[in-house]
Amino acid sequence: MAFNKKKTVAVGIAAVMALGALTGCDLVSTDLQKDYEQVIAEVDITKSEDFQAGGRYEAYADAIEPSSVVKRDLVASFMNVGYLYVQSYGYTYADAYELIKDSLVNRAIYLQYAQVYFYESGDYTVAGYNAAVEAASEEDKGVAGLAYFLDEEEIAKAEYDTKVSLNTTIDSLETEIIAFEDEHDHDEARTTPTGVDTVNEDFADAAYKVYTGANSASDCGSYETVERSTPSTRTRAYKRLLSNLNSYGLIEKGENTSDVTLLSYYQIQRRSTYEDAVIDKLGEAFEKEAEGGITEEWVTAKFNETLASQQELFSRDTASFETALDGVSDTSFVLYAPDENYGFVLNILLPFSSTQTAALEAAPADRGDKNGNKFVTRASLLESVRATDQRKTWFTGHNDYSFVAEEADNAYTGGNAEREYLFFENNLKKSAGENAQYEPIKNYFGKYTYNGAVEKTEGEHGKTQFNITPNKLTIDDFLAEMEGYLSAGGYTLTESVSADAGYYDKAVSDYYNEDGTVDYSSFVYYEAKVNELAEFNANEVFVAGTDENNVMSMMNELSFAYNTDTAGLNSYLGYAVSPNSTDYMKEFEYAAQEAVRGGAGTIVVVPTDYGWHIIYCTFSFAGNTPYTFDWSKIEEEGTFSNLYYEALKASNLTTYATSRQTEIINSYDTDACVTVYENRYSDLILDGTESDPHAGHDHS
């Protein structure tokens, strides 16, 4: 959780970025190109007192070169960032352009200061910098100066990131072209787990290239084409990019557009990426400055103070506790619970069909039921509920996430050899080892095959087509799948309530206590507990490979497969459960509270008027204070101690780094160091009724 990956607005907003939003004419006049080459601001921090005789940076007065902000950068940044401020946040065009101009100026200040900081560190010298620049070709001197402050891995990452940014832009344009031409499956896309196809931020591929359609995608290293990409659609997308760049003056006359790396825009993007790398490195240096105060004593004291504060507040104010419980995350912790019977549950809803729902709504109240309940009717409908695997669009949606499992994948098939498809191969198979390309998906076990028949064929124009027929499961079928999957993972269940044949044939009186109140225990169809979680350790819920995390991840995967309560997908620990009266439906409330009383690993199945609920307790506050902070475990990813330490560290370092950045900007954003030529971009600041930065210019 390093500061350097979370740049503040001061220097981050105006980085030259992908131009997917650009649209416009195909031709641009020479006058417009010249107009966009105008310098709108000059930055030179050596004009401050710090660099004068007797100043703290006097030795570097001749080592820092002035920077120029050109109008082209202002336009490019507006089209990528500024228009969002106008459309979404109510900024005027004048305010948006001023914000971008300020951030471009701040970025230049920050980069100049970075040079001074690195010289001061003793690891870099002015002579070394000058030698690196002098050895470079004329067009590469700017990047060479930045590269001097980077190591080989950082340089490789900057080169890789430059190409990724171009491919991402072309991908966006190509996707639009394909979407315009293609027929679409209009099924609502199934939510995917958080982190799908997330690339490891440290990954770099030396063989990676920009795919333009003129070259072969297979020769572009780890680059993966967009769905239904062809050389034709890619070529058209690249031409559209060139047209967009040209229309905004970002291609110079006579440029060789057949090689993307020779484009002047590519060099702009490349320099910007190198600048980002230097900014990141300065952020890491600030991080090291601040880390000295993050000691075992400080963190332990912080933990004890927070625990004591929460215990005092939550013991007298339950409402505050329940509010805090709803906000739990890996950066926001509840360390104390006023009652042991608080916790979290995962809910998998196997729903009534629309026909069954209508039948339940139309049915009269059960005979003799003074409250108008329809428990008998509902029970008869529950027997015919059929659940299906909901992951169809993971085959047929915008992205095909499916892959055929191999023997080494140890996929669970429920005994059906024809079930062979798993999902998210990138995250499951390319997320381990040195320089792994992708991040693993957290809390997703990844071995449960699609439960249905899948026929894959190649259709017109090479388009992959799927004919998918999900299997239909009764509640007993689902429970068999659940038990089988857990068993395959090495986990066993002890049932305390087992489904019986008479469940669907109860009399009205069977649902009530002697005093006439509803007996919610009578709705429990099934209850069991994972034996291996009898000694539940709250400190290891998010540690990959532990029993606590494995079982939660397996149940979470089953939720993505079958759950129609989509609000529960990608939740942190599930729904917060209180031992008090809640807003949940009463059957669900009872079952969720029962699961929490049973502790983590407890599964309770009950119905409501929505259908069957499979409720799994992911976390319980047994003992009121479930966590212990252990300094020796701060490097063990996923442990409570690691998460707590990283959250405190990130907050502290970000505060420190932001303060340092603000100090730097305030010190050098002065009339002496910055000269702004407002008249050179005043034509872009419109009255708010126009959005075309070319207005008033010759497009011919």
**Is the domain of 569 the same as that of 680?**
no
Asked whether residue 285 carries a pLDDT value surpassing 70, the answer given is: yes
Rg (CA), the chain: 30
665: left (phi over 0), alpha (psi -120 to 50) or beta: alpha
Question: Given 448, 470, 492, which residue is the final one in a domain?
Answer: 470
- Compute how many other C-beta atoms are within 10 angstroms of the C-beta atom of residue 266: 19
Asked whether residue 695 carries a pLDDT value surpassing 50, the answer given is: no
**pLDDT at residue 187 in the model:** 64
Mean predicted confidence (pLDDT) in 327-354: 96
CB contact at 8 A, 396 and 468: yes
Mean predicted confidence (pLDDT) in 170-191: 78
CB contact at 8 A, 73 and 265: no
Total domains in the fold of the chain: 3
Domain assignment present for residue 334? The answer is no
Q: How far apart are CA 601 and CA 531, in angstroms?
A: 8
The first and second tokens of residue 71, run together, are 């109008």
Mean predicted confidence (pLDDT) in 373-378: 94
Q: Which of 517, 234, 485, 490 is nearest to 373 (CA)?
A: 517
Confidence of residue 17 (pLDDT cuts 50, 70, 90): very low
Q: How far apart are CA 668 and CA 46, in angstroms?
A: 9
**pLDDT at residue 11 in the model:** 56
Confidence of residue 27 (pLDDT cuts 50, 70, 90): very low
What is the strand order of the sheet 39-43 is part of?
A: 67-70, 39-43, 674-676
Question: Given 470, 487, 518, which residue is the final one in a domain?
Answer: 470
**pLDDT at residue 20 in the model:** 38
The first and second tokens of residue 470, run together, are 């999900």
**How far from 577 is each of 213, 516, 696, CA to CA, in Å?**
54, 26, 62
Angle (CA) 475 481 487, round 5°: 135
For residues 5-36, one letter each, b for 16 or more C-beta atoms within 10 angstroms of the residue's C-beta and e for the rest, the string is: eebbebbbbbbbbbbbebebeeebeeebbebb
> What DSSP element (H or E) covers 127?
helix 126-135
**pLDDT at residue 474 in the model:** 97
**pLDDT at residue 300 in the model:** 97
**Is the domain of 455 the same as that of 519?**
no
Domain assignment present for residue 300? The answer is no
**Is the domain of 422 the same as that of 367?**
no
**Is the domain of 478 the same as that of 466?**
no
Asked whether residue 119 carries a pLDDT value surpassing 70, the answer given is: yes
Confidence of residue 550 (pLDDT cuts 50, 70, 90): very high
Mean predicted confidence (pLDDT) in 326-355: 96
**pLDDT at residue 689 in the model:** 40
576-596 pLDDT, tens per residue? 999 998 899 999 999 999 999
Q: Global pTM?
A: 0.86
Q: What is the distance in angstroms between the CA of the first residue and the CA of the last residue of the chain?
A: 50
Q: Which of 620, 629, 622 is nearest to 573 (CA)?
A: 620
**pLDDT at residue 462 in the model:** 62
Mean predicted confidence (pLDDT) in 592-621: 97
Confidence of residue 397 (pLDDT cuts 50, 70, 90): low
Domain assignment present for residue 192? The answer is no
Domain assignment present for residue 689? The answer is no
Asked whether residue 109 carries a pLDDT value surpassing 50, the answer given is: yes
186-222 pLDDT, tens per residue? 567 899 999 999 999 999 999 999 999 999 999 999 9
**Is the domain of 509 the same as that of 563?**
yes
**How far from 675 is each of 49, 68, 670, CA to CA, in Å?**
16, 10, 9
The first and second tokens of residue 310, run together, are 């929460």
**How far from 251 is each of 70, 234, 243, 267, 268, CA to CA, in Å?**
15, 20, 9, 11, 11
Which range is least confidently modeled, 52-56, 329-333, 464-468?
464-468
Confidence of residue 4 (pLDDT cuts 50, 70, 90): very low
**pLDDT at residue 678 in the model:** 93
> What is the CB-side half-sphere exposure of residue 121 using CA atoms within 13 A?
15
Q: What percent of the chain is predicted at pLDDT more than 70?
A: 91
**Is the domain of 216 the same as that of 166?**
yes
**Is the domain of 562 the same as that of 674?**
no
Q: How far apart are CA 654 and CA 661, in angstroms?
A: 10
Q: How far apart are CA 481 and CA 485, in angstroms?
A: 6
Give the bridge partners for 349, in sequence order: 613
**pLDDT at residue 283 in the model:** 92
**How far from 536 is each of 47, 119, 272, 332, 443, CA to CA, in Å?**
63, 52, 49, 21, 17
**Is the domain of 492 the same as that of 607?**
yes
- Compute how many other C-beta atoms are within 10 angstroms of the C-beta atom of residue 216: 10
Question: Given 587, 605, 623, which residue is the final one in a domain?
Answer: 623
**Is the domain of 397 the same as that of 437?**
yes
**pLDDT at residue 77 in the model:** 80
The overall average pLDDT reported for the chain is 89
Stronger pLDDT, 78 or 262, i.e. the higher one = 262
**pLDDT at residue 80 in the model:** 67
Domain assignment present for residue 356? The answer is yes
**pLDDT at residue 183 in the model:** 55
Q: How far apart are CA 435 and CA 199, in angstroms?
A: 11
Which range is least confidently modeled, 421-425, 440-444, 680-684?
680-684
Q: What percent of the chain is predicted at pLDDT more than 90?
A: 74
Angle (CA) 23 29 31, round 5°: 120
Mean predicted confidence (pLDDT) in 552-572: 96
Stronger pLDDT, 496 or 689, i.e. the higher one = 496
Q: How far apart are CA 424 and CA 422, in angstroms?
A: 7
Domain assignment present for residue 12? The answer is yes
**Is the domain of 369 the same as that of 504?**
yes
Give the bridge partners for 456, in sequence order: 466
Domain assignment present for residue 638? The answer is no
Q: How far apart are CA 274 and CA 458, in angstroms?
A: 42
Asked whether residue 469 carries a pLDDT value surpassing 80, the answer given is: yes
**pLDDT at residue 673 in the model:** 97
**Is the domain of 382 the same as that of 414?**
no
Say if residue 572 is exposed, middle or buried (CB neighbours under 10 Å; 0-12, 13-18, 19+): middle
Structural domain harbouring 418:
393-470
Q: How far apart are CA 452 and CA 421, in angstroms?
A: 9
Q: How far apart are CA 588 and CA 565, in angstroms?
A: 13
Say if residue 558 is exposed, middle or buried (CB neighbours under 10 Å; 0-12, 13-18, 19+): buried
Asked whether residue 16 carries a pLDDT value surpassing 70, the answer given is: no
290-302 pLDDT, tens per residue? 988 899 999 999 9
Domain assignment present for residue 188? The answer is no
Confidence of residue 307 (pLDDT cuts 50, 70, 90): very high
**pLDDT at residue 683 in the model:** 87
**Is the domain of 115 the same as that of 257?**
yes
